[in-house]
Chains A and B, each alone.
Chain A
Amino acid sequence: MTIDTSTVVGIAPGLRLQHEKAQDSWVLLYPEGMVKLNQSAAEILQRCDGERDLSQVIELLEKDFEQTGLEADVLSFVKIAREQKWIKLLNAESKQQG
């Protein structure tokens, strides 16, 4: 499945994104392990809720951070996140099917 702005992205099953006060950062938890996320990764993943497509994620980020031109950065991060198996990809159809 190719990744473009119409792709819907959610956190992969079995993983959990949460904020850790003791580490002052967002982390991604998976079986017996943890990735500490940098700020941009955390901001992107928090908006990947399995409902929004990436164009909506990008729009939201640009609005929240008063920036433009984030598309390339977001798409390249999502590709990395997919390689790491941190996320699942859904197309609009499978999302409607639930």
Chain B
Amino acid sequence: MDNNSDQSSVIDTDKPGPPLWLLAELTYRCPLHCAFCFNPIGFDKIENELDTAGWIKTLRQARELGSVQVGFSGGEPMLRQDLEEIVAEARSLGYYTNLLTSGVGLKPKRARALKDAGLDHVQLSFQDSTKELNDFLSNTKTYDLKKEVAAMIKDNDWPMVLNCVIHRMNIDYIDKIIELALDLGAETLELANTQFYSWAKLNRDSLLPSREQIDKAYAVTERYREKYADRIRIISVIPDYYENRPKKCMNGWGNVFLTITPDGTALPCHTAGMLPGLEFPNVKDHSISDIWYESEGFNRYRGKGWMKEPCRSCPEQEEDLGGCRCQAYMLTGDPAAADPVCDKSPHRGVIDEAVARAQNGDTAEAHPLVFRDPKASQRLSTGKDGADVLLPG
């Protein structure tokens, strides 16, 4: 999931709107080992996945509140053998059902079962269009399989959205990525610039592109966008490190977006579990209504009441609501600080330093990529409940 989704937003500081978007992270288990994964560093500590009945109860309660889009994500959601059952329930409740998958484990028979369950859409992630780089970045042999999965998506008349995470090592091949998407018949291509959380944060020096790379990729993308406007919709956003105002993260904390992690913990975004001093409720113990409207975890950074300077008196505070709480915490140590992407933040220097290293360009060799796998997870996580370790910015 990214921040590109076109959601109608409901901004009302008195009474929050419903959690229109439900992200169901069915499992953290995954056959891939992507170096830019946004699952928590400590994912391997998470046990007790919510069972089928737990997911069905969650879907019913959220739907009752007004959730209408559901994304089944992970990890790799297809590792859940009850996926069809969960999808069927969601569809019958009236959700628009999205499967966000690497495609590993999808065979024609299972695709047909998911279609019969009422699955509305498959978003297929690609690490790159170049086989060698794809296998290197995801650390497994998956590229050929993805071509097969793309064909299955077409065979089942699903709309096809390809998602490719863009970073320093593949951004120069953006023309090839777009051509591959055209070749596979994707209707939408999301060029999702790496967001630097979790594993991507560990690997930031290897993944953050230079300004020149971004400018060149932007020009190439524009050319394709114009030429193939009838065939494909290309979504891309400049990485926030190269902006001077932060993103309006999740369209506002506790505004439209509700994530349920594999063990049933409810979060305002998929990385919020890293924030210190904040308890997030679990669907095993609380109703979705209590979680969304009453819990401290969801109310803490809602609206603007929590803001400090420079956000508190900023005339642009409505535009971005202070940016991302996780980024503020990771890079300044204070989750209530302004997102340091903002050039009004006294901590903007930490972003500028990272950008300067990216411009310098010789940092990747000094910091080899850390791939997301259970061993690295155990080694790197010292936080409680699999929370991320805070590494120096």
Stretch at the interface among B43-51, B154-162, B200-208, B267-275: B154-162
| The one of A18, A31, A35 that contacts B159, using a Cβ cutoff of 8 Å | A31
Does A80 sit at the interface, judged by CB under 8 A?
A: no
Does A16 sit at the interface, judged by CB under 8 A?
A: yes
A13–B66 CB distance below 8 A:
no
**Which chain B residues border A18 with CB–CB below 8 Å?**
94
Does B121 sit at the interface, judged by CB under 8 A?
A: yes
B256 to chain A minimum Cβ distance, whole angstroms, is 10
Does A70 sit at the interface, judged by CB under 8 A?
A: no
| The one of A21, A23, A31 that contacts B161, using a Cβ cutoff of 8 Å | A31
A30–B7 CB distance below 8 A:
no
**Which chain A residues border B123 with CB–CB below 8 Å?**
31-32
A59 to B233 Cα, complex, angstroms = 35
B69–A29 CB distance below 8 A:
yes
If the complex has contacts A14-B120, A16-B96, are A32 and B71 also in contact, measured as CB distance less than 8 A?
yes
A70 to B178 Cα, complex, angstroms = 42
Chain B residue nearest to A32 in the complex (CB): B5
A32 to B100 Cα, complex, angstroms = 10
**Which chain A residues border B188 with CB–CB below 8 Å?**
31
A98 to chain B minimum Cβ distance, whole angstroms, is 14
Does A33 sit at the interface, judged by CB under 8 A?
A: yes
If the complex has contacts A18-B94, A20-B68, A22-B18, are A34 and B8 also in contact, measured as CB distance less than 8 A?
yes
**Which chain A residues border B94 with CB–CB below 8 Å?**
18
B157–A13 CB distance below 8 A:
yes
A13–B159 CB distance below 8 A:
yes
Restricting to B147-166, which residues have a CB under 8 Å from any CB of A? Answer: 157-159, 161
Does B65 sit at the interface, judged by CB under 8 A?
A: yes
A29 to B20 Cα, complex, angstroms = 12
A31–B121 CB distance below 8 A:
yes
Does A36 sit at the interface, judged by CB under 8 A?
A: yes
Does B6 sit at the interface, judged by CB under 8 A?
A: yes
Chain B residue nearest to A14 in the complex (CB): B159
Does A27 sit at the interface, judged by CB under 8 A?
A: yes
A72 to B123 Cα, complex, angstroms = 38
| The one of A14, A27, A34 that contacts B121, using a Cβ cutoff of 8 Å | A14
Chain A residue nearest to B4 in the complex (CB): A32
B53 to chain A minimum Cβ distance, whole angstroms, is 24
A20 to B10 Cα, complex, angstroms = 14
Does B139 sit at the interface, judged by CB under 8 A?
A: no
Q: List 23 A-B contacts (CB under 8 A).
A: A16-B120, A18-B94, A20-B66, A21-B66, A22-B66, A23-B66, A27-B68, A29-B68, A29-B69, A30-B96, A30-B159, A31-B98, A31-B120, A31-B123, A31-B159, A31-B161, A32-B5, A32-B6, A32-B98, A32-B123, A33-B7, A34-B7, A34-B20
> Which residues of B line the A interface, CB within 8 A?
1, 5-8, 18, 20, 65-66, 68-69, 71, 94, 96, 98, 120-121, 123, 157-159, 161, 188
> Which residues of A line the B interface, CB within 8 A?
13-14, 16, 18, 20-23, 27, 29-36
